Amino acid sequence: MEIPFTKLHGNGNDFVVIDEYEKTVIPEEMKKEFAALYCDRRFGIGADGILYLSKSENGMPRMRVFQPDQSEAEMCGNGIRCLAKYAFDAGYVKETCTIMTMAGEMDVTMGYKDDDFMAKIAMPVPKFDRRDIPASGEGEYKEQIGTFEVYAANTGVPHAVIFVKSVESINVEALAPPIRHHESFVNGANVNFVEKTGDDSIRIRTFERGVEAETLSCGTGATASAALAHHLGIVGETVQVETEGGPLVIYVKDGAHMEGPATTVFAGVIRY
């Protein structure tokens, strides 16, 4: 048997898309195991996650995200741009569409600028929820963990945001896991270290739950970091976010919108 797949990435955050728009390809009971097997970079295809594209009951495209640790994420910012590009290239959607996710409906505007595909996503309204982290530090929405002030933010998935002088000085793999697993985050959290680089620009590095490692980019993390920085008066309403894999633009007026690229890497077939 054969399973067609397409590999895409958004600023280096890479995914395997399985097209189930017309029919189920991977049985439900095998989706988690499939992610663990084929996200492996030595024995599989290699990816930060598997994106399943299907059609919802009302005909809208639907995205599900399964991660290397077999968990299913509520949403993925870079992933939804990749899924949108695949659906657009396949002719399933036009320049504007709505994609269903576990975090809700996401409105997408997309197209090509020269040869580059760009998509703008209406993200979930950022939430800064002090109930996720008991208030034990100075100010609202934060507590002291070790030597860091950790802020809680949610942009469809939970995030911890830590402002630092320089992200280059941070040992992400060593410092992020205790925060990622901290009991105040009931379902765990992605961890973002954020450096202000200009009046309306920040640089971030992100440790992603489910991948359990630093990734080159995180769309929901960029949105959470920019929205929180604006909430605290650090930046304005249009924020240039530099991730390890490339730039994103986050607009935080009237909610939050993320704009960035998506690139098709290759397509292939799994034979078994």
Counts for the chain of helices (H) and strands (E), in that order: 4, 17
Element (H, E) at 172: helix 172-180
Distance (Å, whole) CA 117 – CA 263: 7
Active site residue 82: no
Tokens standing for residue 218: 């995180």
- Are residues 85 and 117 in contact, defined by beta-carbon separation less than 8 angstroms? yes
Tokens standing for residue 120: 């703008």
- Are residues 87 and 95 in contact, defined by beta-carbon separation less than 8 angstroms? no
Report which of 251, 226, 256, 253 is spatially closest to residue 241, judged by C-alpha positions.
226
Which residue carries 């980019």 as its tokens? 217
Which residue carries 């599989």 as its tokens? 44
Marked catalytic residue, from 39, 76, 82, 97? 76
Dihedral (CA of 247, 248, 253, 255) sign: negative
Task: Give how far the C-alpha of residue 63 lies from the chain's centroid of Cα atoms, to the nearest Å.
Answer: 13
Distance (Å, whole) CA 82 – CA 181: 28
Residues 6+ apart with CB under 8 A from 5: 16, 17, 18, 38, 45, 267, 268, 269, 270
Residue 203 in 3-state DSSP?
strand
What residues are annotated to the active site?
76, 218
